[in-house]
Amino acid sequence: MCNFSKITTNWKQKVTKMAKKDTDKDLLKEKGFLSQRQDDHFAMRLHAAGGNVTSDYLRAVADAADKYGKGYVHITSRQGVEIPFVHLDDTEAASETMLSAGIGPGASGKKIRAVVACQGDRVCKRGLIDCQEMCEKIDELYFAAPVPYKFKIAVTGCPASCLKVQENDFGIMGFEEPVFVEENCVMCRQCEKACEVSAIKIEDGSLYLDMHKCVACGRCIGACKKDAMRTKDKGFTIFVGGKVGKRPRMGNMLLRTCDSDEVFDILERTINYYRENALEGERLGDVIDRCGLDSFGETVK
Ligand code: SF4
Ligand code: SF4
Ligand code: SF4
């Protein structure tokens, strides 16, 4: 009887200690510290959007990695920055150091993650949209906002989709659709060479533009020096419901063509729809599969 009482007391102490530890871990997670397999060690996740960070950011991170970690940084699959091996005792100081350098914690858990983006038309020759501008605006509006599970947003500058927008809950892609102006054409074949999906064929003195094959990359428009391949439409294509992980799902193309204002309107309505309709543990793609793409589309468009 006496032994049983002792076991019960020890167990209660252990559970209380464990509960406290879990609570501490939750609080630490809120501050960007992800628990490691090594006891009392954490990877400090830092906020970085669009894969662009300044040299000052990098210097501050390098100093923190030397001081609080093991002198190295892990770059995550979503352009994020983590400093592994920060000891529990150093978490507060590490957090304050980063905040004083203007670097906040990264998001994890049931929050909207930092937006990822390619360099877009500021740098990449193929870029059709300013991905970094869109990324900055979206991140400012939604970074770390609460959602039912997790929500990932990507912006990519053209249909090459280097940022894999189809794997994100909400993907934004630049597009430029051509129109052929026959009277200006001198049949130089530059557009045919530029098209990587064989949507343009020149045969028997005629040019054929197959819009079923065309992915709207705009390369033929840039290649034509005679103003015979012009821009018919240019803007943003939206994908929804993509994810990877244990049950991958390719995003659905929700709108092939829209402008920047429409992107923001649809994103706002999509996040609201997700908040209102998701069941426990569901990503947006799961909600779309359960409620139907048409029903979702009618609500958010
Ligand atoms: S998606 Fe297009 S614009 Fe962006 S990096 Fe790739 S090729 Fe360049
Ligand atoms: S826009 Fe791109 S895919 Fe379409 S025809 Fe021109 S080069 Fe080919
Ligand atoms: S590049 Fe322009 S001029 Fe040359 S074949 Fe194509 S459309 Fe005609």
Give tens-digit pLDDT for 107-125. 999 999 999 999 999 999 9
Residues 128, 211: Cα–Cα separation, whole Å: 19
207 CB burial (10 A radius; 0-12, 13-18, 19+): middle
Q: Which two tokens stand for residue 293?
A: 């793409």
First-to-last alpha carbon distance for the chain, in angstroms, is 68
Q: Contact 258/297 with Cβ under 8 angstroms?
A: no
Confidence of residue 162 (pLDDT cuts 50, 70, 90): very high
The contacts of residue 31 (CB under 8 Å, 6+ apart) are 91, 95, 105
Arithmetic mean of pLDDT over the chain: 94
* Closest C-alpha among 88, 61, 57 to residue 73: 61
Distance from the CA of 186 to the center of ligand 3, in angstroms?
Answer: 6
Confidence of residue 4 (pLDDT cuts 50, 70, 90): very low
List the residue whose alpha carbon is closest to atom 6 of ligand 1: 162
Distance from the CA of 127 to the center of ligand 3, in angstroms?
Answer: 21
Q: Closest ligand 2 atom to the C-alpha of 223?
A: 7
Q: Which residue has the tokens 């590490």?
A: 94
Give tens-digit pLDDT for 85-102. 999 999 999 999 999 999
Q: Contact 207/158 with Cβ under 8 angstroms?
A: no
Tally the C-alpha atoms within 13 A of residue 66's C-alpha that lie toward its C-beta.
5
CA distances from 62 to 32, 69, 100, 117, 154 (A): 17, 10, 15, 23, 27
The answer on pLDDT for 232 being more than 90 is yes
The answer on pLDDT for 233 being more than 50 is yes
Q: How large is the average pLDDT for residues 163-185? A: 98
CA distances from 170 to 43, 76, 132 (A): 27, 19, 16
The answer on pLDDT for 255 being more than 70 is yes
Q: Contact 228/248 with Cβ under 8 angstroms?
A: no
List the residue whose alpha carbon is closest to atom 7 of ligand 2: 195
Distance from the CA of 192 to the center of ligand 2, in angstroms?
Answer: 9
List the residue whose alpha carbon is closest to atom 2 of ligand 3: 224
**Domains of the chain, start order:** 31-100 (3.30.70.3340), 116-300 (3.30.413.10)
Q: How large is the average pLDDT for residues 21-44? A: 90
Q: Contact 48/79 with Cβ under 8 angstroms?
A: yes
* CB of 126 shorter than 6 A to ligand 1: yes
Q: Contact 117/164 with Cβ under 8 angstroms?
A: no
List the residue whose alpha carbon is closest to atom 3 of ligand 3: 185
**Residues of the chain above pLDDT 70, percent:** 92
Instruction: Give me the pLDDT at residue 25, please.
Output: 84
Residues 21, 24: Cα–Cα separation, whole Å: 5
Q: Contact 129/157 with Cβ under 8 angstroms?
A: yes
The answer on pLDDT for 261 being more than 60 is yes
| Residues framing ligand 3 (Cβ under 6 A) | 185-191, 207, 223-224, 226, 228-229
Q: How large is the average pLDDT for residues 195-221? A: 97
The answer on pLDDT for 6 being more than 70 is no
Give tens-digit pLDDT for 37-58. 999 999 999 999 999 999 999 9
Judged by DSSP in three states, 227 sits in coil
Write the DSSP symbol of residue 280: T
